[in-house]
Structure 1
Amino acid sequence: MDFAEKVVDLSTRINDLREHVTTEEATKNALILPFLQMLGYDTFDPRVVVPEFTSDTGTKKNEKVDYAVMKDGCPIMLIECKTCGCTLDQGKANQLHRYFQNTPTARVAILTDGISYKFFSDLDKPNLMDPKPFMVFDFEKIEESLIPELRKLSNGQFDENSTLDAAQNLKYTREIKRLMAQQFENPTEDFIRLFAGQVYSGQLRANVVEDFSARVKQAAQDCINEMINDRLKSAMTGDSSVQLSMSAMSDEAEPATTEEEDDKPKVITTEEEIEGFHIVKAILREFVEPSRIIMRDTQSYCGILLDDNNRKPICRMHFNATQKYLGLLDDNKAETRHAIDSLDDIYSFADGLKGAVERYK
């Protein structure tokens, strides 16, 4: 099992157990220790993972951080745990800040509730924990681009210099992404002028800038959608375990394309549809080879098939409207739509998804 699969498995475990985890100790045992094990650290070896690590700070004695990950007898990571579902605000990071300052060999500090993991370092000032994390890894909404970065912290991969370089890049990339998202959602006048000045030959008076505001916002959104769609098609064409077909999902052969159809909106696969697809794969991985589960997107819904066969539909994701629906089909291919409030609700229909696969065995 590769590292990405271990991450998905832990995400599934967290979703199954979270409602039963109501104390900090339960959070540690059920969620956080499996996280450390996923990273390859032996949680039963006190030379590797030390619980209740003493980190005296100033006049305060017997201060203890929940876990310290050790290397060559020295702590390299400190982990402060909170109860599952707890808000990980700045106030809860203050305690970890004190521990970090008093443990100079530790260059990574983690604040977690067993679901969300906030990773800190001392990139601004040596031995002083930065106020903002350089990475936030959320098992409820996994960012695939962060999986390789998480793997760099695993046993056998951890290297202090490489980790700090990666942390520096992640810190600034994260902030730039945040600023770009703000500009795309609500572009400032300077941002609008930057582009309008390159396509408009007249003087950029206030009324012209106002006219270009909506154009720049729409162009930014169109550009993002096109880039996502192109990247998904390119990536999935080369990955045998994840395939994406842009043809319509139906039980009958598709008619030939007409000129009128060329004018119809293009099919755009959204990030939510991709995430939903991975959730379905995670649910079914124990019952069927994951490579047999295929996604096909259409203008009306995103379908998930077994063996890329139109006659073996597993479910349909209707995610293009404000209210999302998961469609399950019976033996006669009649679809029943179930309203869902979040992608996590897909796990509630695990039995229906497994039943669909069983019908085709």
Structure 2
Amino acid sequence: MDEDENHLQQKLTKLQSKVQRHRETLKTAEAIKTAFILPFISLLGYDALDPDQTIVGYPTDSKSRMDYALRDDYEIRIGVHVTHDPNDMSHERAVSFLETFNASEALIAIITNGAVIKIHGTDEQGHYIEAPLMSLDLSSLRPMDATGLEHLGPESFNLDAFRNSAVSRRLRDQLVSAIETTLRSPTQALAAEVLTNIDDSDGINPDELITMIADVAPGFRYSLGGNDAPQEQEQTEAENPSRPPMNEEETLAFHIIKAIGAKHVKPERIFARPHTSYVAVLLDDNNRNPIARIHYKAQSVKKIGFFAGENAEDRVQVADSSDIYALAQKIEERVKELTAPS
């Protein structure tokens, strides 16, 4: 795995951790888009908040719309469809979604519910193939699953290279499966072959060796890229069991603020700290560095609190979390203020 692939794999592992923590609480497509899909778009190398690279609700010739169109140099490269319905990830439903992509100029189609990401390509006539070129399951990530994604970025987009990586990956997956099956049910011929590579093999019973091979087979899963690879878990924001949990709306608002702030600092520096009456959004998890406050506890009125200099908190009422995008300048200015040299 080269440096670019390793970097993407690390980002994919962090996204997996986020999906595992929040997928059960995010039940709408809009929440999934903000929490999971925008980070995945950023992972590929596109600026999720820049309309020159990421277009929301892009129309197609069939009068339907793609949720996102990713482009470089004003050419549409990738179309994205997002769903919150698990049934939409079935083969039958995917075929209907591909009709939307067939009516677009996108070269790659992504269908996802946040946890499963299916990446489709076209045939020689430019029609999308029903079977995905690549599928990512973030509930069961493997060590080399990011391989090939580096060819989908805006500056490194290479369709042929991505297809070749996808073919190699499918072959690798089949090889891993075949090796695991062989090790779980070893034959006498395999045991005899293994014996030839063991020093001091005199006295080893071939029948006992067959049992030993089957016993050690699970240990090969990680090195072969299997599903049981230990994952480095990203710590939850403001991890503290004594604090009240954030609800779905608060989580969505936090991820929007975090995405906006991430234009100026690394996203892992932005934390959420829930309190009884509000959720504090902090830089470096430091109470002295408040970026904003989410006041969603009152069911009738939602407000976002902003800070500037030593001034008191300025609360702005919002109808829902999508209104936060219109207040992005306040968030960006606060982050720049907190990170400015003293």
TM range (shorter): 0.5 to 0.7
Could you tell me which residue of structure 2 aligns to residue 101 of structure 1?
Answer: 102
CA root-mean-square deviation:
4.0
Once the two structures are overlaid, the 10-residue window that deviates more, 87-96 or 5-14, is: 5-14
Deviation, structure 1 residue 89 = 0.9
- Counterparts of 1:131-150 in structure 2, within 5 Å, are 131-150=130-149
The 1-side partners of 2:171 and 2:227 are apart by 23
Match of 1:51 among 50, 56, 72: 56
Query: Post-superposition shift, 1:186?
Result: 6.7
Does the CA contact (< 8 Å) of 1:133 and 1:171 recur in 2?
no
Counterpart CA distance in 1 for 2:221 and 2:12 is 26
CA distance in 2, matches of 1:30, 1:55: 25
> Which whole-Å CA distance do the structure 2 matches of 1:6 and 1:196 have between them?
40
AA partner of residue 67 (structure 2) = D
Q: Which moved more, 1:139-148 or 1:212-221?
A: 212-221
What is the number of equivalent residue pairs in this alignment?
224
C-alpha distance after superposition, 1:48-99 (max 9, x if no partner): 112222223xxxx312222111123222111111107556110221123213
Partner of 1:16: 21
1:162 paired residue number: 161
Structure 2 counterparts to residues 292-331 of structure 1, below 5 A:
none
CA distance 1:198–1:38, shift in 2 (3 Å): closer
User: In the alignment, is the contact (CA less than 8 A) between 1:96 and 1:109 conserved in 2?
Assistant: no
Partner SS for 1:22: coil
Q: Does the 8 A contact of 1:85 with 1:115 survive in 2?
A: no
Residue 203 (structure 2) aligns with:
none
Indicate the residue corresponding to 1:331 in structure 2: none
Partner SS for 2:235: helix
Distance 1:102 1:217, change over 3 A: farther
Q: Deviations over 1:242-267 (max 9, x none)?
A: xxxxxxxxxxxxxxxxxxxxxxxxxx
Give 3-state SS (helix, strand or coil) of 1:11's partner.
helix
Shift in CA distance, 126/43, structure 1 to aligned 2, threshold 3 Å: same
* TM-score normalised by L of structure 1: 0.50
Asked whether the 8 Å contact 2:184–2:217 carries over to 1, the reply is no
What is aligned with 2:235? 283
1:6 matched to 2:7: no
Distance 2:51 2:237 in 1: 34
- The aligned counterpart of 1:113 is 113
> 1:43 deviation in Å?
2.0
Question: Mind listing any 5+ residue stretches in structure 1 that lack a counterpart?
Answer: 200-211, 233-269, 288-361
* Offset, 1:133: 2.0
Q: Percent identity?
A: 19
- 1:129: how far off? 2.3
Equivalent position SS for 1:19: coil
**CA gap 1:150/1:223 in 2 versus in 1, 3 angstroms:** same
